[in-house]
Structure 1
């Protein structure tokens, strides 16, 4: 399946960007409800109409409901399409780490969820989409049954831990069911004058090619080897401090930088945006203690607020873009922040 990368939408279409979720289903639901795309009645229904929802990666690690969030987003994706809307996900560094087999940041409960999900899949045979979409509705019940089991010893059950690691390896290895699910998504997504990625896009990424990077990551995750694609891990997108999913250049606190460094970063950002033909970039990856904010004449928006309980357990926030105007939605009562309302012409 081709991964989306360059989209042209009517400027009047409402875009919602959501940052890192890190396995916290409750906070994910809160953010989506606050954004007006998820029903608040517990039915997990899409109420966003023609809204375009973009999630910026790092669904995995640090929390125990990762697959449930993937399930919820896949369900909303299907519902949104039926209502004229759309949902896109962008892979982050924690997605690529897990496909590489790097489980350093996996929560104990997330290993258990992998074990449960692998067993749950047995009832669906080849009906992968049905299995994934249905998981969010039953995952809590599976969790409760597991914890009531006489053999449940929590994180100290070494046999259970080993089963969890094996289950996760099966699900996330290149070509595995969840790796193939992640392969549906891009590492860079451009919508009209906006570019969305997890860490940050640099000039040499654009020169290398957005479509090429997305294709390489997708093929690697699916375990495919094609004659025109390097089957090895796509370094430029997923490995190294300046790769697309790891880059923090635009997310550093400006107060920590000298004036000349601020000017350098701004210049790099402007060159990147000019090369790709965009007016602004939206990134996650680096928790912002002050909430969603924009810097460098608002040509970069940083939207990771550390909302997961496994990070900072911060109040959820999302970015809304309508008619090339960006604003921060912080709560149901305070629908947007006047201080962060910016118009792009």
Structure 2
């Protein structure tokens, strides 16, 4: 894919009123129900030949995707069934179980926290990579941004790893050995075989469940090998940004602050990627990029825009002062999409919809809530949510 530097004019923030700065925008009381076909969701302009997607930065930092429909999916936390449901309602994944891209020229963005709290983390990463390969062949693309749980695992912080997650690491490391450590081929194909490996493991005479300490120790070692800086899966995560700008929209896991913008988005992305790939400083030790990955106000941990703070007056003042800062939105961006903090009311927006919160806690390891995704088309955003019992019919919910 071609790469170039993009120069975009700054755009002012939409005007915000006192009411919109205190409470998230509410969903309409009524929502229409209709069936979406792949034909009417696959691209921004049906049947039109769109200009190529242009990517700047390595990992990607700025993406120009003219005319594309954009769909954003929040935290998945190791639940591949819920992940598939979310991708199906987004119109980018086939419903026949074949894991085929059906989005045409759509751009899909996943906002991080694929890892922890579930047992199919590597399978989800594999699925997203497979879909990216398929999407590019049709003029679309799949992008991911890393969240705090990705950076935690590269640091070796396994506090939130499900026992099945350790088992999947053991299985995948064995699978890599079968491929003679051809990590690329093994990784892309893992989603198609991981279920069988899981079933075979549970059928094994040696399977003693999550309380088997020897098995647990083996899983911890396997995870350390895969996710340590320079490890196979850490290098896979290094392909992804911590902040991404697509057209006029910013995407990051926690939230971008003016000091992050001043430091430089591409610089942060490059430093996190270098650390994950195991590149060392002059003293031989890996440099952990603090501004992006550590602290309550780092890019992946920031909850400033995703908490309900109606009872915290000082917190609201802080939000308002940042959002009205002249250097808040960089290089022409006019809205930001974040995950990280589950929204019990579903996908919603604040500050005249300049901030969108799309983590709905859909994983069975979090809230096991109904999957929802954000759709951006013709510069307008809306939430798409499924009926819990059937995914052939979708509720489209517009913000008023």
Pairwise TM-score range, normalised by the shorter structure: over 0.9
Q: Deviations over 1:133-182 (max 9, x none)?
A: 11111111111111111111111100000000000000000000000000
Aligned residue pair count: 337
Q: What does residue 192 of structure 2 align with? A: 137
Question: Is the 8 Å Cα contact of residues 113 and 150 (structure 2) preserved in structure 1?
Answer: yes
Please give the alpha-carbon distance, in whole angstroms, between the structure 1 residues aligned to 2:197 and 2:318: 51
Find out whether 1:256 has 2:311 as its counterpart.
Answer: yes
Q: Which moved more, 1:143-152 or 1:14-23?
A: 143-152
Distance, in Å, in 1 between the alignment partners of 2:262 and 2:117 is 34
Structure with the higher helix share, 1 or 2: 1
Q: 2:267 aligns with which of 195, 209, 212?
A: 212
Q: Which residue of 1 aligns with 2:397?
A: 337
From 319, 337, 353, give the equivalent of 1:265: 319
1:186-197 to structure 2, matched below 5 A, reads 186-197=241-252
Displacement after TM superposition at 1:314 (Å): 0.2
Distance 1:149 1:126, change over 3 A: closer
User: Could you list the per-position Cα deviations for residues 305-340 of structure 1 after superposition, in whole angstroms to 9, with x for gaps in the alignment?
Assistant: 0000000000000000011100000025334103x2
Higher relative contact order (CA 8 A, sep 6+): 2
- Secondary structure of 1:327 counterpart: strand
Aligned partners of 1:261 and 1:200: how far apart in 2?
15
Whether the 8 Å CA contact 1:171–1:177 is kept in 2: the answer is yes
Corresponding residue of 1:24: 79
- Flag structure 1 segments of 5+ consecutive residues without an equivalent: none
Give the SS at the match of 1:171.
helix
State whether structure 2 residue 164 is matched by structure 1 residue 106: no
Q: Equivalent of 1:85, from 116, 140, 156?
A: 140
1:230–1:142 CA distance, 2 compared to 1 (3 A) = closer
Deviations 1:3-36 (A, max 9, x none): 00011221x2100000000000000000000000
Matched position secondary structure for 1:130: helix
- Distance between the aligned counterparts of 2:199 and 2:107, measured in 1? 34
* Superposed displacement of residue 267, structure 1: 2.4
Question: Corresponding residue for 2:23?
Answer: none
Work out the CA distance in 1 between the residues paired with 2:215 and 2:324: 50
Q: Structure 2 CA distance, aligned partners of 1:226 and 1:7?
A: 29
1:246-280 per-position Cα deviation (integer Å, ceiling 9, x unaligned):
0000111032322x542430221232543443111
Equivalent residue for 1:9, pick from 65, 69, 77: 65
Shift of 1:296: 1.2
Structure 1 position 162 matched with structure 2 position 217: yes
Is the CA contact 1:77–1:86 (under 8 Å) kept in the aligned structure 2? yes
2:228 maps to which of 137, 153, 173: 173
- Is 1:151 aligned to residue 211 of structure 2? no
TM-score, normalising length: structure 1: 0.94
CA RMSD of aligned residues (A): 1.6
**Which segment drifts farther, 156-165 or 263-272?**
263-272
Q: 2:297 pairs with 242, 248, 255, which one?
A: 242
For the 8 Å contact 1:199–1:284, the answer to whether it is kept is yes
Give 2:357's aligned residue: 302
Matches within 5 A, 1:269-308: 269-271=323-325, 273-308=328-363
Structure 2: state its 5+ residue gaps.
Answer: 1-56
Q: How many Å apart are 1:226 and its aligned residue?
A: 6.0
Residues of 2 paired with 1:284 and 1:67: CA distance? 20
**C-alpha distance in structure 1 between counterparts of 2:171 and 2:203, whole Å:** 14
> Greater Rg, structure 1 or structure 2?
2
